[in-house]
């Protein structure tokens, strides 16, 4: 297994919207967080993306590991398989979903993994627990903190008023 010379910090997104061997989605997320170790954000309910109609339970974990990003990804995929995750429809129901969101090494790109996660800036269900856990962690692309990214994404927007007719 490829290792980096020093322990790195990783922010891992954790989600579930299907019952598994640990129970309901919230229990699946709690079991995954316990297995990952590190520090965990509170588990939150969120609406599904895509074709799934089941509510998700989401959280994030901040872990330290001497694994290189590809090795950590392999370990996360093994955990997903152990929880009963099977490859299938994109955005479909899943027992557990573990994603590398950020890495203290900055950016990483390979055929199997892109860090930062390409879509995390547009997903409140990722940013809310991530900002709760590591509010000052800066996005390597924009330089904004997780707190700033979450605030920008969830900022109330003015509703356009209909044009007045004279």
pLDDT tens profile 61-87: 999 999 999 999 999 999 999 998 777
User: How many Cα atoms within 13 Å fall on the side-chain side of residue 93?
Assistant: 11
pLDDT for the residue numbered 61: 97
* Band of pLDDT at residue 2, cut at 50, 70 and 90: very low
- Yes or no: say if 144 and 116 are a contact pair by the CB < 8 Å rule: no
Question: What's the CA gap between 50 and 87, in Å, rounded?
Answer: 16
pLDDT for the residue numbered 166: 60
Enter the pTM of the model.
0.86
pLDDT for the residue numbered 52: 66
User: Closest by alpha carbon to 135, among 143, 123, 127, 126?
Assistant: 127
**Taking residues 128-143, what's their average pLDDT?**
95
* Band of pLDDT at residue 51, cut at 50, 70 and 90: low
Token representation of residue 81: 């398989």
């Amino acid at each position: 297994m490829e290792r980096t010379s020093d322990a790195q910090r990783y922010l891992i997104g954790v989600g579930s919207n299907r019952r598994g061997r640990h129970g309901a989605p919230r229990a699946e997320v709690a079991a995954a967080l316990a297995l990952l170790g590190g520090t965990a954000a509170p588990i939150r309910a969120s609406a599904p993306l895509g074709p799934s109609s089941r509510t998700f339970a989401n959280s994030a974990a901040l872990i330290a590991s001497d694994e290189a990003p590809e090795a950590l990804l392999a370990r996360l995929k093994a955990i997903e398989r152990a929880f009963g995750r099977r490859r299938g429809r994109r955005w479909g129901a899943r027992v557990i979903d573990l994603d590398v969101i950020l890495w203290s090494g900055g950016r990483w790109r390979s055929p199997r993994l892109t860090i930062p996660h390409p879509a995390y800036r547009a997903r409140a269900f990722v940013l809310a627990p991530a900002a709760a856990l590591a509010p000052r962690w800066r996005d390597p692309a924009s330089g904004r903190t997780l707190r700033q990214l979450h605030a920008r994404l969830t900022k109330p927007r003015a509703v356009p008023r209909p044009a007045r007719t004279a």
